[in-house]
Each structure stands twice: as structure tokens, then as C-alpha cells.
Amino acid sequence: MKLVEYLDGGVSPFHVVALCKKEFDKGGFVQLGMEEEWKLEAGGKYYVDQHGSTLIAFTLPEKKQMLPQKSKAPCLRISASHTDFPCLRIKAKPDMHTEHYGKLNTEVYGGAINASWLDRPLGVAGRVAIASKDPFCPDVRIYDSKRPILTIPNLAIHMDRETNKGKEINRQTELIPIFTTRAEEDEFVTFLAKELKVAKEDILDFELTCYNAEKSQEVGIYSEMLSAPRIDNISSVAAMAEAMLHTKKSKSVNVAAFFDHEEIGSTTKQGADSLLLSDVITRIYDGMGFGEDERKRAIYDGFLLSVDVAHAMHPNHVNKADVTNHPYMNGGLCIKEASGQSYATDCEAIAIVEQMAKKKNITYQKFLNRSDVPGGHTLGVFAASFLPMRAVDIGVPILAMHSARELMGKDDYDSIEKLIEVFYQL
């Protein structure tokens, strides 16, 4: 299952982007830089790697198909997801010593379920900046320990008889992973230098996180479910990338945007709440010789699929689901709605997605939050604020969202990948 390759290999946003680049390179896509001059051709396939953790890929049709047509099919079709996930980030000067134990100072990234990170085998992944001869071009390398080197052990129940009654986990004192039983000064940076085969003093900075090193595994008596880290939101990344790669000939400008930093609000230079996607669209239409008026016509004719996971009804906590909408795993992808527009939807756009699904016999459900349990939001509302086009939020329904290990139905992945493929091709 291709999804498993993305889940097991996408141990940091940088590794997610590297995986996508590898697949797009094999598919004949050409890499562009936002700081470079673009030379685009009708029928061409391209991608932009922005800061190593955000990627935007696009394919071009014949030039006349880049503008609104009488058929009403959108001339600009965008899907968007995110490459990041809740985790523990390693701080600068991370070494902490308690007697013989070496520990690493960390902070929580995103809305993690803290307790789910205890007693897990944890690897380390991200990127490291190394000194170079040119101050403006440090040697930046992607790193993966490729094995578990950390763990955060629970306190035995004999020493905390109240533990099963529920308690708050202190992020600064109790979410600190053990690195070694042989503590020395600067142990982690020394280890990192050996791994990268560089001098310790040449390591200038790093963006490294702890990741759950457990592999994806099928569960259920029919092997119909998938238990894995990082389902939110690498399941959406995989579906979008594979759908774009399966599209042989574009009938419109097809875009797949994979953003970083959704879990912390998207308001960064490589997040969805930035000018990046809008600038890419501008560069595409400028590069193909269109004027500003034509580009704006295309944007308002366009359609955005915001692809992120949804909450499946939890069979042990039914009262947390909406009273009339009960999406479940393997019941099909979810169309996500919210009157407060935390999801970017309206009835006309939803109807378009429903008709695409029905035309190709793709199973789908609808997700709405319980009225007294506010849910999260997705990057769709941010992207659509810069590109005011029709938009719908969709995603696979999962359980244990934001846990170090999550659960999904395998059939739902097939349904969402097929829908995105139909969206690009219909």
C-alpha cells in the first residue's frame, strides 16, 4: 500500500517533502525556484520546494483551457494539505543531566495528546544547518536517526497510585525523553556530529523533532484498519500526490499544495496563511503570457479541495459526536461542514463534490461538530482568503487524532484518493 510508504517515511515535514519530490521526479516533473525565472510550457509538469517543508506541484493544460470555459468545469483546480503533525521539538542546548541519565530538553509542537508520547520508541528527524564558506549558504542537511534513540518512560503505578484517576502531564518536566544512561557534556550534539560526519563546532542550529518510530500496522479481524503514526495529515498528502501522478493529461491548471505549519496556525512564510500559493498562481499565469484580468477570472472560476482528516465517531464516546451525523471508519471520505466557516464550505460547492462522488460511485459521509464541542479548523479557510474561489473541506475519518499513533479505515483512503483523481480529471 503506497500510503504506508508515506506514513513510515514521512518522519518530519522535510522528509514528507523529500518523499513527494522523489515521486514527482519519477513522474517527470521539473523543479522550479520562486527566486528564478520560469519558462513554462503547455502540458508541462512542475513543482516548487519552498524552505524544504512546503511543496507546490502543478500541471498545465493547453493554453486555452487555463481560462474559464462554457462547460463550467473549473479552469483552476487546487487541492491543499499539510506536511506537519503534532510532535516534540528538540530545543537548542538540549542536554539535561540527572545523575547518570542524559535527557533532551523538548517543547510540544502543535496540539499533541501528551500522554500518548509516553513509553514509545522515538526517533529524531528534521534538518541541521552546518557552517560553510558562504555565510548566506549554510550547508543544510536532512537528518533521520533511522532508529529509536529516545523514550519517555511512565512513572510506575506503585509510585503514583492516583495515575489512573487522570492527571495533567507537565510538558517541561514530564515530557523529557531519556537519551542515554552515560551522560556527558554536549552528548546530543556530539552524537549528531558523528552521525553527520562533521565537526561538533560546525553545527550551527537545527530543526529536529522526536517522532514515533513504530511502523504502520493493519489491525482488525479483516485487516480493514490501519494503525499508524502521522495519519493526520500524511494520509491526505499521499492521496493528493498519487492522484496528481495518476492524472495523465490535464484539462485545467491542476495544483497540489503541501503546506507546513498547519498545526501551529499556518501564519508563516511557508504556511497556508501566506502569499505563497497566490504568488505561485500569479507566476503560472504570468509565465504563460496571461494578464492580470485573465488570471483573476481564472481564480474566481477555480475550485479548492482542502484535504485534512475528520473525526470518526468514537464507539466508546458516542456522546462526543454530533447527534445526527455519525461518520465512521470505512464508511467513506468525509465532507466537513461548519456554519462558523472553520471549514471552507458552502452548499453549492458541497453539491459539486457530492455529484463527482456519485458519478464515480465513491462512498462519502458528512462530518459536523457537535454544537457544544468546538472542533479545530483547517488550512482551507486561509488559502481561500487569498484565493476567493469555491472550496470544500474533505478528509478521511480517523480515531485518536493528534495521538502519537492514530487509526483509520483502509477503504476511506481509497475513496479520497479516487475523489481527488476524479477532481483533477473530470
DSSP 355-383: HHHHHTT--EEEEE--TTS-----THHHH
Are the C-beta atoms of 196 and 202 separated by less than 8 Å?
no
What local confidence, expressed as pLDDT, does residue 249 receive? 87
- Using alpha carbons only, give the angle 391, 248, 295 rounded to the nearest 5 degrees: 45
What local confidence, expressed as pLDDT, does residue 345 receive? 87
- At residue 413, does pLDDT exceed 80? yes
Are the C-beta atoms of 142 and 22 separated by less than 8 Å?
no
143 forms beta bridges with 126
User: Is there a cis peptide before residue 154, judged by omega within 30 degrees of 0?
Assistant: no
What local confidence, expressed as pLDDT, does residue 186 receive? 77
**Average pLDDT of every residue of the chain:** 95
Q: Given the DSSP bridges, would you call strands 333-337 and 364-368 parallel, antiparallel or unpaired?
A: parallel
Here the cell at position 77 is: 483546480
Q: How confident is the model at residue 341 (pLDDT cuts 50, 70, 90)?
A: confident
Q: For residue 239, which of 368, 408, 399 has the smallest C-alpha distance?
A: 408
Chain segment 44-98, per-residue pLDDT in tens: 999 999 999 999 999 999 999 999 988 889 999 999 999 999 999 999 999 999 9
Q: How many helices (H) and strands (E) does the chain have?
A: 9, 20
Helices marked H in 247-368? 276-287, 292-301, 347-359
Q: How confident is the model at residue 199 (pLDDT cuts 50, 70, 90)?
A: very high
Chain segment 378-390, per-residue pLDDT in tens: 898 899 889 999 9
370 or 214, which is more confident: 214
Are the C-beta atoms of 123 and 148 separated by less than 8 Å?
yes
Are the C-beta atoms of 253 and 60 separated by less than 8 Å?
yes
Here the cell at position 49 is: 520546494
Q: Given the DSSP bridges, would you call strands 390-395 and 333-337 parallel, antiparallel or unpaired?
A: antiparallel
Are the C-beta atoms of 63 and 44 separated by less than 8 Å?
no
Distance (Å, whole) CA 61 – CA 47: 15
Q: What is the mean pLDDT of residues 223-241?
A: 98
pTM (2 decimals)? 0.96
Per-residue b/e over 265-278, b at no fewer than 16 CB within 10 Å?
ebebebbbbbebbe
What local confidence, expressed as pLDDT, does residue 344 receive? 84
Are the C-beta atoms of 136 and 158 separated by less than 8 Å?
no
Distance (Å, whole) CA 74 – CA 348: 14
Rg (CA), the chain: 22
Are the C-beta atoms of 244 and 56 separated by less than 8 Å?
no
- At residue 286, does pLDDT exceed 90? yes
What local confidence, expressed as pLDDT, does residue 343 receive? 86
Q: What is the mean pLDDT of residues 285-293?
A: 96
Are the C-beta atoms of 349 and 380 separated by less than 8 Å?
no
Q: What is the torsional sign of CA 59, 61, 62, 64?
A: negative
Chain segment 99-133, per-residue pLDDT in tens: 999 999 999 999 999 999 999 999 999 999 999 99
Distance (Å, whole) CA 187 – CA 317: 44
- In the chain the domains, ranked by start, together with CATH numbers, are 2-85+230-425 (3.40.630.10), 87-212 (2.30.250.10)
CA distance to 164, 166, 194, 263, per residue, from 268 (Å): 39, 35, 32, 11
Q: For residue 298, which of 81, 79, 80, 64 has the smallest C-alpha distance?
A: 64
What local confidence, expressed as pLDDT, does residue 376 receive? 75
| DSSP-based three-state secondary structure for 387 | coil
Chain segment 165-182, per-residue pLDDT in tens: 888 899 999 999 999 998
DSSP state of 297: H
DSSP state of 81: E
